[in-house]
Amino acid sequence: MNAIKNYFGINGQNTTIKTEIMAGVTTFLTMAYIIFVNPNILSEAGMDSGAVFVATCLAAAVGCFIMGIFAKLPVALAPGMGLNAFFTYGVVLGMGHSWQTALGAVFLSGCLFILLSLFKVRQWIIDAIPNTLKHGIVAGIGAFLGFIALQSSGIIVDNPATLVSLGDMTSFPAVMATLGFIVTIGLVHLRVPGAVTIGILGITLISLLTGNSQFGGVVSMPPSIAPTLMQLDIAGALDVGMISVIFAFLFVDLFDTTGSLVGITKKAGLMDNNGQVPNMGRALLADSTATVTGAILGTSSTTSYIESASGVASGGRTGLMAVTVGVLFLLALFFAPLAGMIPAYATAGAIFYVSVLMLFTLQDVDWNDLTEAAPVAVVLLFTPLTYSIADGITLGFITYTAAKAVTGKFNQISIAVWVLTAVLLLKLVAM
């Protein structure tokens, strides 16, 4: 016990082993929904659901272990929401690439992330990208997730005259998705641990009792990971047309991870007097290594979860909390039958809830400055309407640079933004 205390610095953070473990349990419950949602989303890209389930749990466990043991921070990781949607609906179904090629792009983005972390270029990039665009990207992904949730539950349907319209709100999937969303909001408001997961399981139970789903058991040995293990197509991902996809994976992961690390460590009181995150380099290496590992196993980008804040609120202050989450993800491997029973409409409410959380970033936008507001509006609207995070980011960058330039605010355009805008504009013209 003393060795554990000394390694994680438990006494120095005024916490206990019991507190760290309980904080880990709390964090796991708040993010366990990903083991149900991720297989559902990636299976639509043609991937084996059972293999994705295993890859999700293993990638999350690897990320948590590296973060906890190497970076010693109370931050848990798992395949990221938004990035999995971009993987399926943007890259595979939208652009027509195979899921193997998409995995190759995730792998390469992770490798680039590792290089950025090792050579400390990450901070230059993070500082160079305007906060407005960071907020816009997060909100755009949130809107994209919300649109996907509404589609998967039949609340929004296609319409030849108007492209989309309201579906049958009395249908079972639509009613269940709506109920799941409302229940989740209520449970979160009451601060019930695992509110999102409870919402998903509750709707699944109703589905089983009404005969709309078939019971397939709860516990079993993990499914085979063979259908996705080492199936990534790196050569295919090196095609010129995949450059924007790789950078989209990279930038979204970078911004998401950085934002989560800052928010969580600030809440935990771990930031230094200069506002710097302790072991930032190691934390980003943990995230990027987990992304590479996840691509090899068969899942989309792995990232730091803001849900870790729930564990911090429960007293978690050290890497032992993250290690605990990792152990729980390994135990979750034996609940594959439960994950296989969960219908898309049961996760739709949870996805829509996550989209609401991501839209919170809009409150930090200066809506009184059109040069700040316009790029955010472009990303927010174009990301779901083009069904592509990459296109949303591209058009947002171009709008930001154009808006600042036409109003004479050249001093607010960094060299990095000029370069990125030029590259993205060339990519857009070449399409």
CA 178/CA 183 separation, integer angstroms: 9
| 307: exposed, middle or buried (Cβ count in 10 Å: 0-12, 13-18, 19+) | buried
Q: Which residues pair with 303 in a beta bridge?
A: 78
Residue 336 has what pLDDT?
84
| Its pTM surpasses 0.75 | yes
pLDDT on residue 88:
94
pLDDT computed for residue 430 by the predictor: 60
157-168 confidence digits (pLDDT tens): 988 889 889 999
pLDDT tens across the length of the chain (431 residues): 778 888 888 877 788 898 899 889 888 988 888 998 999 999 999 999 999 999 999 999 999 999 999 999 999 999 988 889 889 988 999 889 999 999 999 999 999 989 888 876 766 666 667 888 878 888 888 888 889 889 888 999 988 889 889 999 999 999 999 999 999 999 989 988 778 888 888 999 999 999 888 887 788 899 999 999 999 999 999 988 788 889 889 888 887 787 778 778 877 777 766 667 778 888 888 999 999 999 999 999 999 887 888 788 778 889 999 999 999 999 999 988 887 788 889 888 888 988 888 888 899 899 999 999 999 999 999 988 887 777 888 899 899 999 999 999 988 888 878 887 887 787 677 65
Q: What is the pLDDT of residue 128?
A: 66
